[in-house]
Amino acid sequence: MEPLLEVKNLLMAFGGLLAIDGLDLTVNENEIVALIGPNGAGKTTLFNCITGIHKPTGGDIFINISNKKHYRINGLKPHKITESGMARTFQNIRLFPNMTVLENVMIGRHCRSHAGVAGAVLRNGKTRKEEKNIVEYCYNLLEKIELDPFVNEQAKNLPYGVQRRLEIVRAMATDPFLLLLDEPAAGMNNQETKELDALINKIRDEENIAILLIEHDMKLVMSLAEKIVVMDYGKKIAQGTPEEIKSNPVVIKAYLGEEDDT
Amino acid sequence: MREIIKSFTVSIWFMFLTFPIMVIKVNTIEKTIEWRWERLIFVGIGSFFLSFLWRYLITRKESGIKKAEAGEEIKQPLSQRFFEDRRLFFPALGGVIILTVTFPLFFSSYQTNIMTNALMYVMLGLGLNIVVGLAGLLDLGYVAFYAVGAYCYALLNYHFGIGFWAVLPIAAAMGALFGILLGFPVLRLRGDYLAIVTLGFGEMIRLILENWNKFSFGPSGIANIPRPTFFGYQFSFDHSFIYIYYLMISLTILTIFVVNRLQNSRIGRAWIALREDEIACQAMGIDIRKTKLTAFALGATWAGMVGVVFAAKTTFVNPASFTFMESAIILSLIVLGGMGSIIGVILGAFIFILLPEYLRAIEEYRMLVFGAAMVVMMVFRPQGLISNIRRTYEFRSSKKQ
Ligand SMILES: Nc1ncnc2c1ncn2[C@@H]1O[C@H](COP(=O)(O)OP(=O)(O)OP(=O)(O)O)[C@@H](O)[C@H]1O
Ligand SMILES: [Mg+2]
């Protein structure tokens, strides 16, 4: 079976700094892949390249949607990439602070709806129906993730953990086949992290969305991921199952050696 | 006590600063110097009280923020309660409608003219509000589109004799076209850079109009522009003011209707998302190029239309009417009224245009008063008089028990 996402020999240079240096990565259907590595390893930069925020300096990024084989997405605009089925969250939460929770999620539906200026002004049957569908779709999604009590709350007034979850729901509203989560557990307490663990598993099992996540919380990574990719200085230094990674001397030297809690 | 000492130092400092202009007066004829010591006392006392009041208001505001952070119940803003209480809102709306419709019957054509003016600024404000308030793109050259509309009517009428009603949609389209024209080069700019380029664009249009004599007749402008007709009927001088007033009312209502629908639509949401966070916005699948261009185009449309009304009302256009000052006024009334809120912009426009007209006493100090008012607003109510109220939705929980 073809992998959903295939990154081949990716290069990303900022001036003289090679933030990503010949990286290969694959994510298969229904897989949870974790990307780990010390600070400044280039993990977020990889996400930015995949989602079109940066244009990679070299290499290829392919996605394989069921019938379109090998669809190269290098240098596409971010909204095109989201439209093709990959959605992300951000390391430092980027919600729309003055919009309500529902409206935040409704923005996720933008690329799956069509109403234009004329539709907005005339508010004809088609537009009204589309709008109603968007609202219902988003509310159902919020209900599934148990955020429905906050539906009319402004995003900026939410507790931190809820904001992180809302960002995931907003990304899910774009109807992706792959979710890219950038440190979803950052700043969460134990209880919230446990809930997040369950949530990510639920998204994968019930919605059939593959997941690529960056995370520093080793306990979460070990329990969630089926495959772990370790990066350092823009290079992939190891890849394997959690057990393999735990005992890999290269990884321990580069990364786990610095941590005491593994 | 510390506050008093602080205010006291402020007042001493002020007395010192204003000493040369307030106290010393050189009598140039008799070549003597007059010392007006009593003024020093006024300055001292005045600045003492102002500084004290300022400090008091600041502490009050800060304690309010603390309260909100501590999660205590904060009262809904007055404006919001007003709009939600239907028993209050509908009679008020009715009153406003009756007042606006019967206004020319009770007031002189001079007053009607001022009202028309205010309505024009309401429309301009609502147009710019799409760009600045909703999409968050700081546009300091908005007056350019106003000029485009006005010259559109003046020139088309001068050369081809096209009438008011035919030009109105043409000017709207021209406004939109120029909006897109401005939009393209600034797509990648943000914040300060965007503001400066749009400012330059506004000045450019004005300079072109001023210097391209063959095209726009330069600084002398174009005169004898016909007033609007009513199905071919030309009103007398006095009646045409009333006619333009009603015309402006209809156009304003149209604007409110369209802008309201736009802001509660898929496109309006995209604009707001763009304002809130550009990177998240594109990562969520919104084409920001398209979104920005529609904002510029749909914002400029209204300025184009008001431009036509302006030309028809004054029967004369020249570049001097379209200076940066106009853009600044339109922007300030949005900021004053409340960015992104339709009611706020309407209120802001009326305050900004009507107050100086009726308070002739402060006319000389108008800019000073507005400056002070803006500073006070920015400190105490940065969201404007009326803040934008997000729409809420009701849901029946469909959860299975
Ligand atoms: N836009 C940019 N311009 C220049 N350099 C950048 C840019 N973005 C990232 N970098 C550099 O690229 C390197 C990788 O950064 P990146 O944010 O990808 O690290 P990370 O692995 O996500 O680290 P962390 O765990 O702290 O989030 C860093 O040295 C950073 O300074
Ligand atoms: Mg990072």
Nearest ligand, measured from the Cα of A38: 1
Q: How close is the Cα of A231 to the center of ligand 1, in Å?
A: 12
pLDDT of residue B396: 62
What are the pLDDT digits (tens) for B367-376? 777 778 778 8
**Do residues B37 and B123 share a domain?**
no
Q: Cα A145 to the chain's mean position, in Å?
A: 16
Residue B164, token pair as written in the block: 């008011």
Q: How close is the Cα of A50 to the center of ligand 2, in Å?
A: 14
**Residues of chain A contacting B288 with CB distance shorter than 8 Å:** 79
CATH number at residue B319: 1.10.3470
Task: Select the residue of B277, B286, B298 nearest A79 (Cβ to Cβ).
Answer: B286
Q: How close is the Cα of A87 to the center of ligand 1, in Å?
A: 20
Mean pLDDT to the nearest integer, B356-379: 75
Question: What ipTM was assigned to the predicted interfaces of this complex?
Answer: 0.91
Residue of A nearest to B273 (CA): A96
Mean pLDDT of all residues belonging to chain B: 84
User: d(Cα B77, Cα B86) in Å, to the nearest integer?
Assistant: 16
Residue B112, token pair as written in the block: 């009607």
**Which residue's alpha carbon is nearest to atom 19 within ligand 1?**
A40
What are the pLDDT digits (tens) for B199-220? 999 999 999 999 998 888 888 8
pLDDT of residue B385: 77
Is residue A250 over pLDDT 50? yes
Is residue B394 in a domain? no
Is residue B400 over pLDDT 50? no
**Do residues B220 and B331 share a domain?**
yes
Task: List beta partners, residue A6.
Answer: A26, A62
Weakest mean pLDDT among B203-212, B268-277, B326-335, B388-397? B388-397
Task: List beta partners, residue A72.
Answer: A62
User: d(Cα A121, Cα B265) in Å, to the nearest integer?
Assistant: 8
**Do residues B173 and B285 share a domain?**
yes
Is residue B126 in a domain? yes
pLDDT of residue A257: 53
Domains and CATH numbers, chain A: 5-256 (3.40.50.300)
Q: Do A110 and B270 touch (CB under 8 A)?
A: yes
Long-range CB contact pairs, A241-248, < 8 A, 24+: A246/A222
Under the banding of pLDDT at 50, 70 and 90, the label for residue A255 is low
**Do residues B28 and B97 share a domain?**
no
Nearest ligand, measured from the Cα of A46: 1
A136 Cβ contact list (under 8 Å, min separation 6)? none
Residue of A nearest to B294 (CA): A117
Q: Is residue A46 a contact partner of residue A229, using CB atoms and an 8 Å limit?
A: no
**Do residues B60 and B83 share a domain?**
no
CB of A40 closer than 6 angstroms to any ligand 1 atom: yes
Mean pLDDT to the nearest integer, B21-49: 80
Q: Do A143 and B273 touch (CB under 8 A)?
A: no
Is residue B63 in a domain? yes
pLDDT of residue B401: 37
Residue A138, token pair as written in the block: 């988003």
Is residue B388 in a domain? no
CB of A48 closer than 6 angstroms to any ligand 1 atom: no
Is residue B212 in a domain? yes
If one compares B18 and A158, the residue with the highest pLDDT of the two is: A158
H/E stretch holding A6 reads strand A5-14
pTM comes to 0.86
Is residue A197 over pLDDT 90? yes
Long-range CB contact pairs, A252-256, < 8 A, 24+: A254/A37, A254/A38, A254/A230, A255/A36, A255/A37, A255/A38, A255/A230, A256/A218
Q: Is residue B260 a contact partner of residue A121, using CB atoms and an 8 Å limit?
A: no
Q: Do B285 and A148 touch (CB under 8 A)?
A: no
Weakest mean pLDDT among A28-37, B6-15, B78-87, B291-300? B78-87
Task: Select the residue of B258, B285, B390 nearest A79 (Cβ to Cβ).
Answer: B285
**Do residues B58 and B125 share a domain?**
no
Q: Do B276 and A121 touch (CB under 8 A)?
A: no
Is residue A262 over pLDDT 50? no
Residue B271, token pair as written in the block: 């604009």
Q: Do A115 and B266 touch (CB under 8 A)?
A: yes
Q: How close is the Cα of A88 to the center of ligand 2, in Å?
A: 13
Distance (Å) from the alpha carbon of A139 to chain B's nearest alpha carbon:
8
B278 Cβ contact list (under 8 Å, min separation 6)? B190, B288
Specify the DSSP class assigned to residue A85: T
**Which residue's alpha carbon is nearest to atom 17 within ligand 1?**
A44
* Sign of the alpha-carbon dihedral angle for A174, A180, A183, A185: positive
Q: How close is the Cα of A140 to the center of ligand 2, in Å?
A: 31
Interface test with B, best of A121, A141, A142 (most B CBs within 10 A): A121
B93 Cβ contact list (under 8 Å, min separation 6)? none
**Which residue's alpha carbon is nearest to atom 28 within ligand 1?**
A40
**Do residues B26 and B88 share a domain?**
no
pLDDT of residue B364: 73
Residue A229 phi, psi dihedral angles, 5° rounding: -115, 130
CA distances from B102 to A261, B94, B121, B346 (A): 78, 12, 20, 19
Looking from the CA of A189 toward its CB, the CA atoms found within 13 Å total 4
Q: In percent, how much of chain A has pLDDT > 70?
A: 95
pLDDT of residue A54: 93
pLDDT of residue B81: 63
**Residues of chain A contacting B388 with CB distance shorter than 8 Å:** 98
Specify the DSSP class assigned to residue B388: P
**Which residue's alpha carbon is nearest to atom 31 within ligand 1?**
A40
Q: Is residue A74 a contact partner of residue A25, using CB atoms and an 8 Å limit?
A: no
Radius of gyration over every alpha carbon of chain B, rounded to an integer in angstroms: 25
Interface test with A, best of B187, B276, B389 (most A CBs within 10 A): B276
Is residue A176 over pLDDT 80? yes
B252 Cβ contact list (under 8 Å, min separation 6)? B119, B122, B123
Q: Is residue B3 a contact partner of residue B55, using CB atoms and an 8 Å limit?
A: yes
pLDDT of residue A104: 95
Secondary structure class of A235 (helix, strand, coil)? strand
A57 Cβ contact list (under 8 Å, min separation 6)? A11, A12, A13
H/E stretch holding B336 reads helix B324-337
**Do residues B296 and B194 share a domain?**
yes
**Residues of chain B contacting A88 with CB distance shorter than 8 Å:** 283
Distance (Å) from the alpha carbon of A52 to chain B's nearest alpha carbon:
8
Distance (Å) from the alpha carbon of A83 to chain B's nearest alpha carbon:
6
Mean pLDDT to the nearest integer, B75-104: 72
**Do residues B172 and B240 share a domain?**
yes
Is residue B399 over pLDDT 70? no
3-state helix, strand, coil in chain B (%, to 5): 75, 5, 20
Task: List beta partners, residue A229.
Answer: A35, A239
User: d(Cα B27, Cα B386) in Å, to the nearest integer?
Assistant: 50
**Do residues B95 and B118 share a domain?**
no
Q: Which domain holds residue B138?
A: 111-380
Q: Do B282 and A96 touch (CB under 8 A)?
A: no
- Mark the residues whose beta carbon lies below 5 A from ion ligand 2: A 44, 91
Is residue A55 over pLDDT 70? yes
**Which residue's alpha carbon is nearest to atom 11 within ligand 1?**
A19
If one compares B78 and A216, the residue with the highest pLDDT of the two is: A216
Instruction: Please tell me the total count of domains within chain B.
Output: 3
Under the banding of pLDDT at 50, 70 and 90, the label for residue B355 is confident
Is residue B389 in a domain? no
Under the banding of pLDDT at 50, 70 and 90, the label for residue B230 is confident
Specify the DSSP class assigned to residue A145: T
Distance (Å) from the alpha carbon of A118 to chain B's nearest alpha carbon:
9
Mean pLDDT to the nearest integer, B275-286: 93
What are the pLDDT digits (tens) for A123-155? 888 899 999 999 999 999 999 988 989 988 899
**Do residues B287 and B305 share a domain?**
yes
Is residue B397 in a domain? no
Is residue B117 in a domain? yes
What are the pLDDT digits (tens) for A87-112? 999 999 999 999 999 999 999 999 99
Question: DSSP string covering B214-262, please?
Answer: HHH-GGG-B--PPPP-BTTBPPPHHHHHHHHHHHHHHHHHHHHHHHHHH
Mean pLDDT of all residues belonging to chain A: 89
**Residue among B211, B207, B185 nearest B196 (CA):** B185
Is residue B175 over pLDDT 90? yes
Under the banding of pLDDT at 50, 70 and 90, the label for residue A67 is low
Q: How close is the Cα of B285 to the center of ligand 1, in Å?
A: 23
pLDDT of residue A82: 93
B269 Cβ contact list (under 8 Å, min separation 6)? A99, A103, A106, A107, A110
Weakest mean pLDDT among A168-177, B84-93, B114-123, B262-271? B84-93
Q: Do A77 and B265 touch (CB under 8 A)?
A: no
Question: DSSP string covering A153-164, please?
Answer: SBGGGS-HHHHH
pLDDT of residue B77: 58
Mean pLDDT to the nearest integer, B303-330: 92
Q: How close is the Cα of A7 to the center of ligand 1, in Å?
A: 18
User: d(Cα B199, Cα B180) in Å, to the nearest integer?
Assistant: 16
Interface test with B, best of A88, A105, A117 (most B CBs within 10 A): A117
Under the banding of pLDDT at 50, 70 and 90, the label for residue A164 is very high
Q: In percent, how much of chain B has pLDDT > 90?
A: 41
**Do residues B187 and B208 share a domain?**
yes
